[in-house]
Chain A
Amino acid sequence: MKKRTFGWNVMLIACLIMAISLPAWGKTIKIGVIGPMQSLEGRDHWNGATMAADEINAEGGVKVGKVKMKIELIKCDSNEDKNITDAANAMERLITNDRVDLIVGGFRTEAVFPMQDIAMDYKKIFIGCGAATDELCNRVGKDYKRYKYFFRGTPFKSSYLAKTSIMHLIACAGVIKKELDVPIKVALVAEKLSWTEGMVKLIQGYVPKLGYELVGTWQPSARATDVTAELSAIQKSGANVIFTVFSGMVGITFARQAGEFKIPALQVGINVESQKEGFWEATKGMGNYVFTMNTYVRGIEQNELTGPYMESYLKRYQQVPTYTADTYAAIKYALVPSIEAVGSLNADKIVAHLEAREYKVPSGVIKYEKNNEGVYTHDLTWGPGYLTSLGCQWQDGKLVGVWPNNWMPDPKNHPDLKITYKGMVPIKLPPWMKK
């Protein structure tokens, strides 16, 4: 009798567990979040996606036809920063074993290519949220039938990143001319890594066209712990703008030593380390006035969605989101509205709806580009009214937004068009430049 009671109890518990978990695996939309989960980029992929899923599920889920479905996220560590084969295997596993309906993420370009191919083999929508290379979306335009399931989520393509850096240079040069009335002399300092080579060639070619003098190019190691030789040479060259292209620790070294020597020049360009909140501490305050490109900055609102997004993110994770956290926008503003509009999880229907949309996200407005033949490339449109990214500057211990601030994207044809995001402050020159 005792044995029988025990057996019934086990069955009852099993049934209860089944009943509780049934809605979870019976009526959910499975979204795979793939990225290097042991690094900051992957963690932000996951953070953004989790926040989006929680918000949507709290509102009852996604309306697919007549049914409300909850979002179930599947976390997938691609390990792509270390192993490309691993990343491709992770994508295959995500699709064939975890049976996800949609995928967001990806970071390292070399890994995203095979991941993209695998997703396309299975006709799964994959929104890339990390790799910037143009070719990922060029593939969509070249072979639309196969690659149409791929969309760029963030950031905009690398050629637009370079274009934005030039805009930042022009903005800084404008301030120097206005306040100091001196000719602009640019020193180009790029870390010695392959990704900077294209950028170096572009800046070297573009600076003279702007009427500025390029006084020289310096390429220290990405891990350099001393750049005094470069700084001395830059000081002797008389440069008043230092265009930096840094992703490594040299960004901290360079900013700290330039601050210590009070080099009379404004640093502008890309300095990934200066995008992080720990930069001020790392440079012991010597990184003051460093200017860099960024996606999100505290207090800056590209549109009405930025504020609430930043507030929720900061409250939940106590840090400013990096661009890979735009998995949030990919799920909440790209995928979910399109699924609800077509009332189905049919990938072809979602693609047809999504590519034709123009929609707001916390970093701007997304509109998908077409190539010269009029075929969608699913790349992000850059420019005023769409996505521009931000220029930010360290000013007395705070990272503040400084660009676009009265930016005139087309002064010849539209002299009245000036772009300023809410919360922008003017660019500040280091006081020692004015002496």
Chain B
Amino acid sequence: MELIIFYFKKLFKILRNEVLVLPSRVVVGIFFIVLLGLPLITQDPYIIRIVILTSIFAIFAASWDLLSGFTGQMNFGHALFFGVGAYSSAILNIHFHLSPWGTVPLGAVVAVLAGLIVGIPCLRLKHTYLALTTLAFPLILLGVIIALPDISGGELGMTGLTRITNSLLGNYYLHVVTFLVLAIIMWKITDSNTGIIFHAIREDELAVKASGINTIFYKLLAFCLSGFFAGIAGGLYAHYMRIAGPSTLELSLSFTVVIYAIFGGAATIYGPIAAVFILFPLLEVFRIWPEYRMMLFAAVVLIILLYMPEGLIHWIRDKIEKECPRCKVRNVATRKTCRICTANLD
């Protein structure tokens, strides 16, 4: 009993001193609570479906940010990892009759290999050349898929995949909890020493090399980690949709994920996630005006990027929070002095 009270007090202390002091953390807390508690408010299958798919695409968008946002390895063919995850899971499920509990992680492992295959030739490339090279990989895989219809289903894709669970709530919690766990892992990676090295590679690779850090290893690690998370998203998508088709490798998917990341704010992890949770449901809301749906969507993205070039979440965060010029700790915008070092914030 004493132990429970101890942990309860510790939790309360963390809440009071770490979470409630910053509006952005409060918003994240509310987001977690709303996401986990949504089925208590509604079990409308359409809303549940939208949240599940949003969660899947949020993993995908965050995985792009991990590679391109943090490490600066501009990947314009990120759909490759998603497609590899989707197709690997589908092949294992359809041809080898493996359960989705096994196919999704194994699909992610195959996506890691894809990350290595893409990463190695890309090590020598930078900027536009890197972007154009990565753009080619999903197209190459698409060609392979079309050429092997007996294995991949050709242009029609692989259909009849089993769902991980057929229960509405089961599906909801499986996808949402997976998303939350993976998002935390990705955020933790970027907050660790590895994340700092990723960030440093993006800022000045030569300086990182000069510091004795093996940048090749870290760049490949970024490709593999990104491939792993995108592969999980692809596998979850294939089993949820019950199809893995050429659309999982389309250029439009690669560009959509870039739009999400830039809209929310790159190199944050939470930025692309927030962008998916805004844009994906927004596109559904725009079904009210079907003729103008895509135009409205494009207008929203353009306006945000025009007035908030750093991304929506960066902009909002800068409005509600201030960074201490001395200790770099963030404070709520209404404070006059830093909550840690008491330096003047104005």
Task: Let me know if A110 and B157 touch, CB within 8 A.
Answer: yes
Q: A84 contacts which chain B residues (CB < 8 A)? A: 241, 243, 245, 247
Task: Let me know if A135 and B159 touch, CB within 8 A.
Answer: yes
Interface size class of A (residues with CB under 8 A): 20 to 34
- Expressed in whole angstroms, the Cα–Cα distance for A89 and B159 within the complex equals 17
Please tell me which one of the listed residues B154, B241, B291, B294 contacts residue A194 in the complex, with CB atoms under 8 A apart. B154
* A-B contact list, 20 entries, CB within 8 Å: A75-B290, A79-B294, A82-B252, A83-B247, A83-B252, A85-B241, A86-B283, A89-B49, A89-B284, A90-B287, A92-B46, A93-B46, A109-B156, A113-B157, A113-B242, A114-B241, A114-B243, A194-B154, A194-B155, A197-B146
**Residues of chain B from 213 to 269 with CB closer than 8 A to chain A in the complex:** 241-243, 245-247, 252
Answer yes or no: A37 CB below 8 A from chain B CBs: yes
Q: B291 contacts which chain A residues (CB < 8 A)? A: 38
Which of B44, B247, B252 has most chain A Cβ within 10 Å?
B247
Q: A90 contacts which chain B residues (CB < 8 A)? A: 287
Number of A-B contacts (CB under 8 A): 65
Q: Which residue of B lies closest to A193 (CB)?
A: B155
Answer yes or no: A77 CB below 8 A from chain B CBs: yes
Q: B interface, by DSSP: helix, strand, loop or mixed?
A: helix
Task: Let me know if B157 and A89 touch, CB within 8 A.
Answer: no
Answer yes or no: A30 CB below 8 A from chain B CBs: no
Task: Taking A89-B284, A110-B246 as given, write out 4 further A-B residue pairs in contact, using a Cβ cutoff of 8 Å, ordered by the A residue number.
Answer: A84-B241, A86-B283, A92-B49, A135-B156
A residues sitting closer than 8 Å to B (CB atoms) are 37-38, 75, 77, 79, 82-86, 88-90, 92-93, 96-97, 109-110, 113-114, 117, 133, 135, 139, 194-195, 197
- Expressed in whole angstroms, the Cα–Cα distance for A37 and B290 within the complex equals 9
- Expressed in whole angstroms, the Cα–Cα distance for A195 and B44 within the complex equals 38
Bits for B132-170, please: 1 = Cβ < 8 Å to A, else 0.
000000000000001000000011110110000000000
Task: Let me know if A77 and B243 touch, CB within 8 A.
Answer: no
Q: A interface, by DSSP: helix, strand, loop or mixed?
A: helix
- Expressed in whole angstroms, the Cα–Cα distance for A97 and B288 within the complex equals 12
- Expressed in whole angstroms, the Cα–Cα distance for A96 and B45 within the complex equals 7
- Expressed in whole angstroms, the Cα–Cα distance for A137 and B242 within the complex equals 17
B residues sitting closer than 8 Å to A (CB atoms) are 44-46, 49-50, 53, 146, 154-157, 159-160, 241-243, 245-247, 252, 283-284, 287, 290-291, 293-294
Task: Let me know if B46 and A96 touch, CB within 8 A.
Answer: yes
- Expressed in whole angstroms, the Cα–Cα distance for A418 and B293 within the complex equals 52
With both chains docked as a complex, state the minimum distance between the C-beta of A113 and any C-beta of chain B, in angstroms: 5
With both chains docked as a complex, state the minimum distance between the C-beta of B61 and any C-beta of chain A, in angstroms: 14
- Expressed in whole angstroms, the Cα–Cα distance for A48 and B293 within the complex equals 24
Given A110-B243, A195-B155, are A93 and B44 neighbors across the interface (CB < 8 Å)? no
Q: A113 contacts which chain B residues (CB < 8 A)? A: 156-157, 159, 242-243, 245
Task: Let me know if B241 and A133 touch, CB within 8 A.
Answer: no
Q: B246 contacts which chain A residues (CB < 8 A)? A: 110
Q: B243 contacts which chain A residues (CB < 8 A)? A: 84, 110, 113-114, 117
Q: Which residue of A lies closest to B160 (CB)?
A: A139
- Expressed in whole angstroms, the Cα–Cα distance for A141 and B256 within the complex equals 38
Task: Let me know if A77 and B290 touch, CB within 8 A.
Answer: yes
- Expressed in whole angstroms, the Cα–Cα distance for A114 and B294 within the complex equals 22
With both chains docked as a complex, state the minimum distance between the C-beta of B336 and any C-beta of chain A, in angstroms: 48
With both chains docked as a complex, state the minimum distance between the C-beta of B274 and any C-beta of chain A, in angstroms: 19
Q: Which residue of B lies closest to A109 (CB)?
A: B156
Q: B49 contacts which chain A residues (CB < 8 A)? A: 89, 92
Task: Let me know if B293 and A77 touch, CB within 8 A.
Answer: yes
With both chains docked as a complex, state the minimum distance between the C-beta of A37 and any C-beta of chain B, in angstroms: 6
Given A96-B45, A110-B245, A139-B160, are A89 and B155 neighbors across the interface (CB < 8 Å)? no
- Expressed in whole angstroms, the Cα–Cα distance for A75 and B291 within the complex equals 11
With both chains docked as a complex, state the minimum distance between the C-beta of B195 and any C-beta of chain A, in angstroms: 30
Given A89-B50, A96-B44, A194-B154, are A77 and B287 neighbors across the interface (CB < 8 Å)? yes
Task: Let me know if B157 and A97 touch, CB within 8 A.
Answer: no
Listed from nearest, the 8 A-B pairs whose CB atoms lie closest are: A77-B290, A194-B155, A110-B245, A84-B247, A96-B46, A194-B146, A113-B159, A96-B45
- Expressed in whole angstroms, the Cα–Cα distance for A84 and B157 within the complex equals 12
Q: Which residue of A lies closest to B284 (CB)?
A: A89
- Expressed in whole angstroms, the Cα–Cα distance for A281 and B246 within the complex equals 35
Q: A133 contacts which chain B residues (CB < 8 A)? A: 156
Task: Let me know if A114 and B242 touch, CB within 8 A.
Answer: yes
Which of A83, A86, A97, A194 has most chain B Cβ within 10 Å?
A194
Task: Let me know if B46 and A97 touch, CB within 8 A.
Answer: yes
Task: Let me know if A92 and B247 touch, CB within 8 A.
Answer: no
Q: A82 contacts which chain B residues (CB < 8 A)? A: 252
Task: Let me know if B284 and A110 touch, CB within 8 A.
Answer: no
Q: A93 contacts which chain B residues (CB < 8 A)? A: 46, 284, 287
Q: B245 contacts which chain A residues (CB < 8 A)? A: 84, 110, 113
Q: B155 contacts which chain A residues (CB < 8 A)? A: 110, 194-195
- Expressed in whole angstroms, the Cα–Cα distance for A139 and B243 within the complex equals 14
Task: Let me know if B46 and A110 touch, CB within 8 A.
Answer: no
- Expressed in whole angstroms, the Cα–Cα distance for A114 and B53 within the complex equals 14
With both chains docked as a complex, state the minimum distance between the C-beta of B172 and any C-beta of chain A, in angstroms: 14
